[in-house]
Amino acid sequence: MLQHNDIRTLTSYRITILSAGLGLLALSLFLSIAFGSTKFTLPELFHFIFVDTEAVKHKIIMKIRLPRSITAGLVGSCLAMAGCLLQGIMRNPLASPNIIGVSSGAGLSAVVIFILFPGLYYLVTPIAFIGAFGTTLVVYTIAWKGGSSPLRLILSGIAISSFLSAGSNTLMIFYPDRVQNVIGFMVGSLSAITWQDVQGLWPYTLGGFILSNILADQLNILLLGDETAVSLGVKVEKVRLTFIFVASLLAAAAVSVVGLLGFVGLIVPHLARLIIGNNARFLIPGSAILGGIIVMLCDLIGRTIIRPLELPVGVIMSLLGAPFFLYLLRKGGMNSGGNKGKKRGKKIIEKGTANGHQS
Amino acid sequence: MAIKAENLYLGYGDTLIVKDVSIDIPEGTFCSVIGPNGCGKSTLLKALSRNLPVSSGTVFINGKHLKNYDTKVLSRELAFLTQSPHIPDQFSVKDLVSYGRFPHTNWMGILKANDYERINWAMDITEITQFADRDLSSLSGGERQRVWIAMALAQEAEILLLDEPTTYLDISHQFHTLELIHKLNKEMNRTVLMVLHDLNQAARYSDYLYVMNNGRLHAQGVPDEIITEPILREVFSIDTKVIRDEDNDCPYFIPLGGVHNGQ
C-alpha cells in the first residue's frame, strides 16, 4: 500500500480516495436510513420524506432513523478526528481519546447520575461532557512539568483513568440493582437518539473539523520532533494544548451522547492512515469520513443482525473492528504519526511507541 | 554579535551539564564547538535554540535577549538542525522544505508566490530539486541531510545552528555537506555554529573553535591555536602529531595513541 515514491501521483491518489470516501459516506447514510425493522427503497425514502408527510413511515424516518444515522456519522467523525489529533501530537500510535481520560471521565459522570441521581437522567449528556472534558484538563495539568512530554501525558492519563474507573466500579458494586441503566452508556449505544442530540453534536464536529484542518500543517511539523518544530517557530506547547483541547471537546461531545465508544478513536485513524497516509492535510478529513462510515455501518449491523433485539454499536465496533484491525496489523503497513522507515509497508505498531521518547 | 552568551549554566532537572560558559560569535563567522562525548556541546546548542531553558546566565541573539523573543520571530533569525530529526513517512521533499517557510506565514499557513520562490531557491542551492516530489523516507542519509539544510535555508534565518550535521553520513556526504555549509557561510554570510565530532573537519572549515570539557569552556581560538598537541592530550586524552595542511591552510592532526588518565 502507498508505495508511491513520487508524491504527485500520491496526491492525486489521495484526492481520489477522499472523493470516493464521500461517496461511500453518502451510501452508508442511505443504507443506514433504509434498513431496519421497516425497509425502504430509494424512491420510497424520497416519497415518505418529502411527499407523504402524514404517514407513520414519515415519522419513522424523520424522528427515528434520520437523527440516529446522522448522530452515528457525527460521533464516528468526532472520535476518529480526536484520535487522529492525539496520535499525531503524542507521536504514539496507541493514543486515543481513552488515553487522555475522556472515557473514564464521562463514564464516572454517567454512573454517578444513573446510580446516585437517577431522577436527573436527562442531564446525562451535559454532565458526561463536563466529566470527560474536565478529566482531560486534570490529566494535562498533572502531566505538566515545565512542559508536557507526550509520555507523561499518556502515563498520567492511564493512571487517572484507572482511578476514575475504580470509582465507577465501586458504585456499580454497591448498587447492583441500578447497573442495568448504566450498561447501555458503558458500551456505547445509539438507541433513543433524537434531533436534540444531533443539534448538540454537529457544531463540535464542524468546528473541530475546520480548526484541525487549519492547524494540519502544524501537526505535520510536530511529526518532525519537538526540536525541529521549535526551530521552525511552532509554539510546541501551545499547539499541543490546542490540539488536546480540540480533541477532548470532539471526543467529549461524542461520548456524552452515545456513551463509551472509544475504540473508534483508536482504530479509525490507523485504518485511515493505511489508506491515505500520514500527512495530516489528508489524514484528518480521511479519518472524519471513515469514522462516520464505520459507526453508521456498525450501528446498522447492530440493529439488524439479531432483530428484534438490538446489539449496541459499541459491541459491534469491537466484535468486527478488533479482528479486522488485527488482520491489518498482521498484513503489515501500520505505523504511527512518527518516524522514518526504509522498509516501507512493513512497519509494525510497536515502532511508534519508541518515538515518544525525548532525549 | 550574532550570538552572545554570558555565564551560561544549563542542565536537566537538578543536574548541571554546562557550567559558566560564555561565547561571542560575530555575524558571518563559522564557529564549531568540539569536545568529548558528554561535555555539554549539544546541550549548549539546545539552549541557544530555545529547546532548553537557561538555568542561569543570559543569551542574546542579534543583540536581543533570547527570553524576549517570540518563538516565531526567533525562527526567522535562527534555524536549528537537530542531530536526529524524526523522519515522517509520505512527505515529499518539497513539503518538508516548504515547512521552512512556516515562520513567515500567518496563522492560516498559506504560502505566497514569494514563499515558493524561496523554497525553489533553497532546493536549488542544496541540489535537491530533482528530488522535489520524492518521498523523504526514500532518500539516502546524505540526500536527507541536504533536505534538512534546505528547510533551514528556506527559513531565511541568518544564524544556523547545526548539531553534528555529518554524523551517520559516509565520507563523501560528509564532505559535500560541509562544503555546502561553508558555501552558505562565505557566499551568503550566514553565521554558523556547529557541533562537530571530527576535529580535522572542524579545523578545516571553522574560523573559530570552542573546546568544551566537563561542561566548561576549556579553550577557544582560531584552529591553529586549538588543534595543538597539549590541548588534544588534555581534552581528548590522545597523543597526536599535528601537521599543517597547507593546501587548505589549516592544522591537521594524526592520532598516535591513547593517554591514560592522570599521566
CB contact under 8 A, A5 and B99: no
Q: B113 and B68 share a domain? A: no
pLDDT-based confidence at residue A1 (cuts at 50, 70, 90): very low
- A231 close to B (CB below 8 A): yes
Rounded to a whole number of angstroms, the distance from the CA of B198 to the nearest CA of chain A is 22
Q: Are residues B15 and B67 in the same domain?
A: yes
Cross-chain residue pair B86–A4, CB shorter than 8 Å: no
Q: Give how far Cα B229 sits from Cα of B200, B212, B256, Å.
A: 13, 16, 11
Give contacts of A 314-353 with B, CB under 8 A.
335, 337-342, 344
Q: Which of A211, A220, A228 to mutate to test the interface with B (most CBs of B within 10 A)?
A: A228
**Pair (B173, B198) in one structural domain:** yes
- Residue B105 covered by a domain: yes
Give yes or no: residues B16 and B57 share one domain.
Answer: yes
The domain that contains B36 carries what CATH number?
A: 3.40.50.300
Minimum distance, in Å, between the CA of residue B143 and any CA atom of chain A: 14
Q: What is the pLDDT of residue B235?
A: 92
Kind of pairing between the strands at B216-221 and B208-213? antiparallel
Residue among A87, A152, A232, A336 with most chain B CBs within 10 A, to mutate: A232
Nearest to B90 among A8, A217, A277 (CB): A277
Both B190 and B212 in one domain: the answer is yes
In a domain, B83, yes or no: no
Q: Which amino acid would we find at residue B88?
A: P
pLDDT > 90: what percent of chain A?
A: 34
Contact A278 B50 (CB under 8 A): no
Residues A221, B71: C-beta atoms closer than 8 Å:
no
Q: Does A281 touch chain B (CB under 8 A)?
A: no
Q: Give me the domain span that covers residue B118.
A: 88-156
For chain B, how long is the longest CA-to-CA vector?
63
Same structural domain for residues B95 and B149?
A: yes
Asked if residue B92 and residue B61 are part of one domain, the reply reads no
pLDDT, position A336: 47
Q: Are strands B191-195 and B208-213 parallel, antiparallel or unpaired?
A: unpaired
- Cross-chain residue pair A5–B134, CB shorter than 8 Å: yes
Co-location of B245 and B192 in the same domain: yes
- Closest-CA distance, A224 to chain B, in angstroms, reads 5
| Domain co-membership, B31 together with B122 | no
d(CA A68, CA A66): 5
Please determine, for residue A298, whether its predicted confidence score (pLDDT) is greater than 70: yes
- Last residue of a domain, which of B105, B130, B156? B156
Nearest to B109 among A217, A337, A339 (CB): A217
Q: What are phi and psi of A348, to 5 degrees?
A: -115, 165
Q: Are B31 and B159 in contact (CB under 8 A)?
A: no
User: Is B57 domain-assigned?
Assistant: yes
Domain count within chain B: 2
Q: Is the pLDDT of residue A97 over 70?
A: yes
In a domain, B58, yes or no: yes
In this predicted structure, the answer to whether residue A294 has a pLDDT above a threshold of 90 is yes
Split at pLDDT 50, 70, 90, the class of B136 is confident
Is residue B82 situated within a structural domain?
A: no
Beta bridge mates, B59 = B5
- Report CB contact under 8 Å: A279, B90: yes
Residue A7 confidence (pLDDT): 61
Count A/B contacts: CB-CB distance under 8 Å. 124
Q: Is the pLDDT of residue A222 over 50?
A: yes
pLDDT at A168 over 50: yes
Cβ neighbours of A223 in B, within 8 Å: 86, 88
Task: Say whether the ipTM exceeds 0.90.
Answer: no
Among A265-274, B54-63, B194-203, B252-261, the minimum mean pLDDT is found in B252-261
Chain-chain contact of B49 with A231 (C-beta, under 8 angstroms): yes
Give me the residues paired with residue B16 across strands. Answer: B11
What's the pLDDT score for residue A6?
A: 63
> Cβ B89–A7 below 8 Å, yes or no?
no
Q: Using the beta-carbon criterion (under 8 Å), do B51 and A10 form an inter-chain contact?
A: no
Contact A8 B133 (CB under 8 A): yes
Average pLDDT, chain A: 84
Contact call for A355 and B86, based on CB within 8 A: yes
pLDDT(A3) > 90: no
**pLDDT > 50? residue A186:** yes
- Looking at residue A5, its pLDDT comes to 56
For residue A254, give the C-alpha cell.
461524542
Partners of A224 on chain B (C-beta within 8 Å) are 85-86, 88, 96, 99
Confidence of residue A54 (pLDDT cuts 50, 70, 90): confident
Q: What's the confidence (pLDDT) of residue B75? A: 92
- Look at A245-254, B93-102, B105-114, B195-204 and tell me which has the smallest mean pLDDT: B105-114
Q: Which H or E element spans position A52?
A: none
Under 8 Å between Cβ of B61 and B69: yes
CA–CA separation, B255 and A99 (whole Å): 53
Residues B196 and B148 in one domain: no
Q: Do A7 and B133 touch (CB under 8 A)?
A: yes
Let me know if residue B263 belongs to a domain: no
The DSSP secondary structure of A238-295, one letter per residue, reads HHHHHHHHHHHHHHHHHHHHH---THHHHHHHHHHHHHH-S-HHHHHHHHHHHHHHHH
Assess if residue B204 is contained within a domain.
yes
B132, B156, B180 - which closes a domain: B156
What Cα–Cα distance (Å) separates residue A259 from each residue in A1, A86, A172, A251, A335? 34, 20, 16, 10, 28
pLDDT on residue B91: 84
**Spatial CA neighbour of A65 closest among A188, A185, A193, A196:** A193
- Classify residue B156 as left (phi > 0), alpha (psi -120 to 50) or beta: left
Mean pLDDT to the nearest integer, B212-235: 93
pLDDT by residue (tens digit) across B186-218? Answer: 999 999 999 998 999 999 999 999 999 999 999
Contact at CB, B71 and A146, closer than 8 angstroms: no
Instruction: Please state the pTM of the whole predicted model.
Output: 0.84
Q: What is the pLDDT of residue A51?
A: 84
Instruction: Please check whether residues B187 and B251 belong to one and the same domain.
Output: yes
Q: What is the 3-state secondary structure (H, E, C) of chain B?
A: CCEEEEEEEEEECCEEEEEEEEEEECCCCEEEEECCCCCCHHHHHHHHCCCCCCCEEEEEECCEEHHHCCHHHHCCCEEEECCCCCCCCCCEHHHHHHHCCHHHCCCCCCCCHHHHHHHHHHHHHCCCHHHCCEEHHHCCHHHHHHHHHHHHHHCCCCEEEEECCCCCCCHHHHHHHHHHHHHHHHHHCCEEEEECCCHHHHHHHCCEEEEEECCEEEEEECHHHHCCHHHHHHHHCEEEEEEEECCCCEEEEEEEEECCCCC
Only one residue has cell 562537530, namely: B196
Give the residues across from B3 on adjacent strands: B25, B61
Which of the four pLDDT bands, split at 50, 70 and 90, describes residue A355?
A: very low
What is the average pLDDT across A161-187?
Answer: 88
DSSP state of A60: I
pLDDT tens, A299-348? 999 989 888 888 888 888 888 888 877 887 777 655 544 443 333 333 33
| Rounded-to-integer distance, Cα A249 and Cα B15, Å | 39
User: Are B111 and B70 in the same domain?
Assistant: no
Rounded mean pLDDT of A147-164? 89
* Mean pLDDT of the A160-187 span: 88
Give the range among A43-57, A102-116, A210-224, B66-80 with minimum mean pLDDT.
A43-57
CB of A223 within 8 Å of a chain B CB? The answer is yes
The span from the CA of B24 to the CA of B2, in Å, is 8
In whole angstroms, give the CA distance from residue B17 to residue B10: 6
Q: Does the residue B236 lie in any domain?
A: yes
Q: Give A338 or A196, the one with higher predicted confidence.
A: A196
Which sign does the torsion angle of CA B184, B186, B192, B194 carry? positive
At which of B139, B156, B173 does a domain end?
A: B156
Q: Which domains does chain A have, with CATH numbers?
A: 7-356 (1.10.3470.10)
